[in-house]
Every structure is written in structure tokens, then in C-alpha cells.
Structure 1
């Protein structure tokens, strides 16, 4: 529901600035937002799950964050959070390319290469971490003013903190990634292809080199060693399943439809292209262009081809909501949740639809869906924001203020979070769960950056 459409409205300036390899001039607090999208997050979880099991980390409670950047990058920092740039998703032609990179990053976690950062990052909100990364990238790019605008008082550049792996650690992560891929019967071709691309980039000036290449140095001997080991694997010629490739193509089409100019999307996915991915891209562009009838026709075609794909039902709900019919959006969103009951982002979309109808009689339905999400993911800003509105409709003001405080915390807006928490505490019974959580927020001190 709120997935790309509204979220991308808030971050398009950041995306445009990233395209020029410069961070957006955002404020230190709340100037950056992540992209939330149920379909993409689900696919990335599918990519990482077998790798994590092979690494003996199957029980890890990892959260995947989509960063609104056109640069190719994916990274982990504390064993709990994986950050993936949407640009990496758009540039990768096969699932294997992204899976290989994620396997390498998980290799860093498995090897303990991030141990020195864990204590520093344990209490940091994801948005705070991203602010550190952007400020560091600005310093690395020689843009001190941009760094100051992003994170006032920042002291650590990216190259000296989050991604400053030693060469030995890089090689260890390479070996670990190969082991994970072999254990899951997957090829390392995608990883080799990606790393070779970055090695080629290093012949240019650092101004134009992708940050991923800068933080993951690619000497030719390392590439040769990686390639030799990968080619000796019995799975070198293994291919992604047709279904996984289809979902990858749908993801790339979705990213393009939201990130690129409509004319660019139409050239990339012309009407002569009758693939599902092309139809998906054109349908989203129609929705963005307010051609809702055309968008409904397009999504109905997609649903006819894949009636049990939950994210087409989600998209129909989003189209109907965008066209001013949130009540009609409830049914397809309910079907989406029925098809993927463990996908929390779909529950957020359904809960949001209940709220957007403006019907107070549906507020309890909204609370039921959204509270289920926030109990597991306290830092889900969208869920907390809609939960606050639902509680407000029910007259449960302390809970509404606490949910607003949680949303602000997730967005790194700590001063605003404390204001909402203060209101929540004043209206709540002393010692109640709302009162105690509000007190926790009031006592919170963000990590020094």
C-alpha cells in the first residue's frame, strides 16, 4: 500500500543526488527514509534464507532495509540488519548476482569481521546507521559540506568504520561465500561477474567508482583466485529457477517503474514486450500517471496469469487506494495476507487501508493487523504511523502518542520521539506497558557518531 508509491515521493531527491554519486543534503534527523516494499523484501529474504542456514545462522532475526540509492551496494553491519541499495537490484540481471553479493556480506558476519562495531551499533536505529554511512560516503567523495549537512558532528568516515575490511577479511568472506553457495547448490558466477565489474571500474578516477568497489578493493589476483575456485565448483553452471528469475524480473521492473521517468520505463518495456515484467512496469507507470482504469486492467491481466501471487493482489489494493477507493482495496489486500500470512508488510498495507477509509468502525481491524506487526518489528515506521492513527480514531490517545514516538524513533527523529513519549507517559497509568515504554524512549541516548 504505502510501499513504493508514497515512500518514493519522500526520497526521490535523495535518489537523484545518489545518481550523481553524491549524498542528498538531508538534515541529521529524519532527512532520510528507507523504502518499504513487501514484494522486494520477501524476495530478498528468499535469497538470504538458504545462505544463512548454510552459515549456521538460520535462526538469525535479520531485517532487510532497502536504501533509496541508484548505486550498486549491499552491506551488513551488526548481524541483525542487511542494507541493500535499490540500484543493486535494478542493475543485477539474475538472482545469482545479488545472492552472490549477499553471500559475501554474510561471510563477513560469519567471520566475525564486524565484531568491533557490534557494541557501537547495537542501540543505533537503522536510520542512524544510514546517516553514518551517507556522511562517510560524503567524506570519501571529498564533500565535507554534504557530510556536515547529513550528520552534524559526524566523526567517522565510511572507509574507516562500517566497510573498512582488511584484504585478508575480504578473501575470507570470498571463501565463506563460495562455501555457502556450494552448500546450497548455487553457482558463484553472479558473484564473480559483479566483482569483475568493480575491478574494471577501478581504472577510472575514484570520483566515478562505485562505493561498493571502493570499500571492497578488487585487485586482479584476488579476482583470479575467486574465479578459479568458483569454476572448480560442481555448481558453476547451475542456473536460477525459472520462477526465481521471473520474480527477479518483476522486482527489476517494479524498481524501474518507480525510480525512472515514465518515458524511460516505456522505452525499456515497450508494448511489443509481452512479458509479465513489462506489463507490470507499464501498469505501475499507469497508476503513477493517474490512469487508474488502465492500471486496473493491467493488474487484472497479471492476476489472471498468476492468481496466487500475493503481491499482484497487493498492487491492486494500492491502485484502488490511489484512485480514491480504499474500501475496495481491502478485499485484494485481505487476499494478499491470506496467501502470505507471515509477510508483515502485507499486514501493514491492509492495516493502512482500514485506516485510510476514514471509517472508525474499521479502526479495531487496523489495530489488530498493525499491532501484530509492531510487536515483532518495533522499528517499522509505517506500521507505527498508521497504528497511531488507528488508536486516535478509537480515542486511545496514550497508545496513539506512543506509536507516534516509536515511528519517530525508527526514523531517527529522537527529539520528536521524546515529545510524543512525554505525552504518552502523562496520559498512561503509572507502571503500565505504555508508561514503561514511554519512559524507555525518554531515557534513550543515541550513540555518538
Structure 2
């Protein structure tokens, strides 16, 4: 369910689109020593023009404000790595994709213009094997690579902005759990356009399937997994009657589509790679997120699906950690890490467990040891930064400042950066980081207020450099709000 109502969705998204600056003009502030963060607008012409990119980023901010987020840096890193591998084979090499994970048991994934890809925890629960998950992601990347959004609205050039905003408004509600209500809202103001375009056309579905199949083969996956995944969705849809999976609301599934996919998959050469144990570990995390109140159900589901023993032991460790049996959890994770030394997420999970249990020094030691082996690993860097906030806020600040340069769209990094700035005596920059976190999560009015506080603190401290940076962001944020107000 949505966490709050979604009034005037289409107008709001149109306002955000018009409020966002042209591609290449939106840069985040520097933090110190004239170190500038990279541009937030760097669209790849193969995926999106400036309009699509801006709308996609506006959509993402509204989605973050309203949808239940699955906050799991380890699962996030896995999906980002998987998508990067697929994108390099699917005509999207060099494209900067933004991943958002949704805390929902429903089967869904989606791609939004500008390179935004969303994945529900429920997709992991539904896909028994990595190749099945890959088939869905490869299909979504096919839509992006073929630019189906812009092609679909080409004949409606005079109304492309409101029509596209309406379509994404409906997707926002559907993706967040609104189901058919999302399509109903979208069709309200653009019925003729949306009827033809909210659900991808059969031709576009076929194009995305075919490109997805080729991407799978080139990335080393068995293309037959796409056929099995489509048939599994078809069975689920028949069982659910009038309420098919969210994915099928915008991706029409027909017998001819399945037959075409099966025929092409059988003709494509390529050996499927051995199922990655790492997938089953992330799937265990997804099942635990879905069954957070009844973790034994997650273990039962994993056992029923004949998951590898390593995944079962990993889930047992996580359940032990959830129940406060930290020593048992760490023993299991350390044993698994010894048996599977190439899977970084296992020692990363151990560091996370130690931190969550309040074992700060252990978390720091584990994180630093892992980062010496895998420099820059994002989940471990976040764990280390959170732990360092308790011991050395200045060290946490430097860690997070560098991470913010690498991940300028990661709102969690800016939330921690704000805390580190405050604890290390950088009060003005702390308010600035908090404002950036708020605008990344769709709270532009709160962000403007926060910038006002930041400016007063910087002026009071005589920090001219910080004042100039804050003023630059303040003017930009005011422009966003003024445009938004025209549509409220």
C-alpha cells in the first residue's frame, strides 16, 4: 500500500519535469576543499533525451516519497552489479542506471525513462533461479535500449509531456502496490493515449523479449529461463483471476508472445552459466524481508524451493541475528565465508550483523579488513561509516563525502553524511547534506527550509565558501518549488 495519498499525480509529475533543469545543468554542491560532486544529469543519448532523463529523475523522487523502500545495501549492490553486466551486452554500455528496491511481496519490476530500474523483493521470491530474475531484468533493459517510451509517444508530439507524466503517475501507484488503481488514475486525464501506451504494445513487448533473449545469451545465461518465467507468470495470473501480478498490468502476456519467445530461445545458442550461489543468498535476504514478522516462513519457503545448502545456512545465520543470537550468527557467517571466500556479501553481512548488535569495534575491524581486500565495496563502506559515527565522526565524514561523490543519487549516503557532518563540527554542511537528502526523497519544501538553516549557520560562522554553495542550491530549490506550485 502507499504510505500516503497521491493527489493530482499527473500535475505533480509535470511540475517536477518542468522544474528540473536541462540536462547537464544540475550539479550537487561541493563539500570542502573545492571538491565538487559529479553532475546529477548525465543522460546517455542511447537511452534517453534530456526530457526523458529529467522526468525519470523526477519520477524517482516521487516514488521514494511514496513507495515502501526495501533498504538493503547488500541486495542493492547485487542488483546494480547484475544490471551493469546485462547492460554491457544489451546496448546500454556506459549508461548510468539507478536502481530502486521496493519492499513489496508482489511480483514486479519496472524501468523508467532516464535509466531508472525498480525491483520488488517479491520478484526474488518468485524467481527460483538467477536466470529467471535475469530474464525479467533483461526484458526491462530492452525497453530502455529501444526507447519505447519516446517512440510510443512520437505521434502525440504536442501532448508528449503531460501524456508521459500521466503514464508514469499510473506506474508510480501500480509499482507501489496500487494495482489497477494506478492504471485508473493514469487513464483519467489521458484515456485515449494511456489505453494505447500505459501497457506496452504487443510489438514493443516482442522487441523487448527478443533483445532480452540476446542479452541473456551474450551474458552467459540460458535463454530458456525467459520462457519458463513467462509460463510461471501465466499460471499465477490464471490462479489470481482478475488480479494478475503487477508486472502483467503494464506488460501484456499472450500465448503468442510466449510461443514466440520459446521458439527464439530454442534457436539461440549458448550454454547457461551455473546458477550463482550469490543469487540464492540475496534471495534469502528478500524472503526474510517479506516475512520479517515470521522469519521461519522464509526458511520454509527456501527449503521448499530446494535452494543450495549454503543459502539455507546463510538464512539461518540472519534469523539468529534477528533473534539476538549474535554469536551463533557470526559463527555461521564466518564458516560460510571460509567455505566461499570469493563471495564478498558474506563477510559484509557479518560486519552488518556485528554493527546491528552494537558490537561497534568488531564491526569496524571486520569492515576495514574486508575493504582492504575489496576497496570501495559500497555496503561495507556504509557499515564502516555508521560504526565510525560512534567512534570517529571525522573519519565517517571523509568516508561518506567520498562515497557521495561516487553515488550522488543515493539518498541514504546523504542522510549519513548529514549526521557525520553534525558530529564532526561541520554544522552548515550538515544542514546542506540533509537538504540534499530531502530533495532526493521528494520533500522539496523541507529541503528549502533546511537550506535556510544551513545558510544562517554558515553566515554566522563566517564560512564564505559554504555560504556560496548553499546559496547556489537555495536558488535552484526555489525554482523547483515555484514551478510545483503552479500545478497544485
TM-score (norm: length of structure 1): 0.80
Higher mean Cα deviation, 388-397 or 26-35? 26-35
Q: Is the 8 A contact 2:336 2:346 kept in 1?
A: yes
Q: Deviations over 1:224-255 (max 9, x none)?
A: 111111111122xx23225x2x1111111122
Cα distance, 1:163 vs. partner? 4.8
**Aligned residue among 469, 472, 476 for 1:433:** 469
Partners of 2:114 and 2:234 lie apart in 1 by 27
Q: Is the 8 A contact 1:78 1:114 kept in 2?
A: yes
In structure 2, the CA distance between the partners of 1:59 and 1:342, relative to structure 1 (3 Å rule), is farther
Length, aligned pairs only: 408
Q: How does 1:282-431 map to 2 (within 5 A)?
A: 282-355=316-389, 357=390, 359=391, 362-428=392-458, 429=464
Partners of 1:417 and 1:155 lie apart in 2 by 30
Q: How does 1:192-207 map to 2 (within 5 A)?
A: 192-203=227-238, 207=242
Q: Is the 8 A contact 2:2 2:178 kept in 1?
A: no
Cα distance, 1:277 vs. partner? 0.7
Q: Is the 8 A contact 1:310 1:339 kept in 2?
A: no
Higher mean Cα deviation, 272-281 or 164-173? 272-281
For 2:88, what is the secondary structure of its paired residue? helix
Partners of 1:327 and 1:162 lie apart in 2 by 54
Cα distance, 1:330 vs. partner? 0.6
Partners of 2:3 and 2:363 lie apart in 1 by 36
**Aligned residue among 76, 81, 95 for 2:111:** 76
Cα distance, 1:281 vs. partner? 0.5
Q: How does 1:40-439 map to 2 (within 5 A)?
A: 40-115=75-150, 133-134=172-173, 140-142=179-181, 163-203=198-238, 207-235=242-270, 238-242=271-275, 244=276, 246-260=277-291, 261-268=294-301, 275-355=309-389, 357=390, 359=391, 362-428=392-458, 429=464, 432-439=468-475
Q: Is the 8 A contact 1:199 1:213 kept in 2?
A: no
List gaps (5 residues or longer) in structure 1: 1-22
Q: Is the 8 A contact 1:51 1:103 kept in 2?
A: yes
The residue aligned with 1:24 is 2
Partners of 1:310 and 1:136 lie apart in 2 by 31
In structure 2, the CA distance between the partners of 1:368 and 1:161, relative to structure 1 (3 Å rule), is farther
Partners of 1:325 and 1:156 lie apart in 2 by 55
Cα distance, 1:273 vs. partner? 9.1
Partners of 1:298 and 1:391 lie apart in 2 by 36
In structure 2, the CA distance between the partners of 1:305 and 1:160, relative to structure 1 (3 Å rule), is farther
Partners of 2:341 and 2:231 lie apart in 1 by 39
For 2:101, what is the secondary structure of its paired residue? strand
What is the Cα-based RMSD across aligned positions, in Å?
A: 3.4
Q: Is the 8 A contact 1:421 1:438 kept in 2?
A: yes
Q: Is the 8 A contact 1:141 1:207 kept in 2?
A: no
Cα distance, 1:424 vs. partner? 1.6
Q: Is the 8 A contact 1:133 1:162 kept in 2?
A: no
For 1:432, what is the secondary structure of its paired residue? helix
Q: Deviations over 1:118-175 (max 9, x none)?
A: 9969xx9xxxx7995126776653589xx99xx9xx9679976985211111111112
Cα distance, 1:45 vs. partner? 3.0
The residue aligned with 1:7 is none
* Residues 1:38 and 2:69 are matched in the alignment: no
Cα distance, 1:62 vs. partner? 0.8
TM-score (norm: length of structure 2): 0.74
List gaps (5 residues or longer) in structure 2: 7-61, 155-159, 459-463
Q: Deviations over 1:23-70 (max 9, x none)?
A: 234355745342233332332233323332223321001122111111
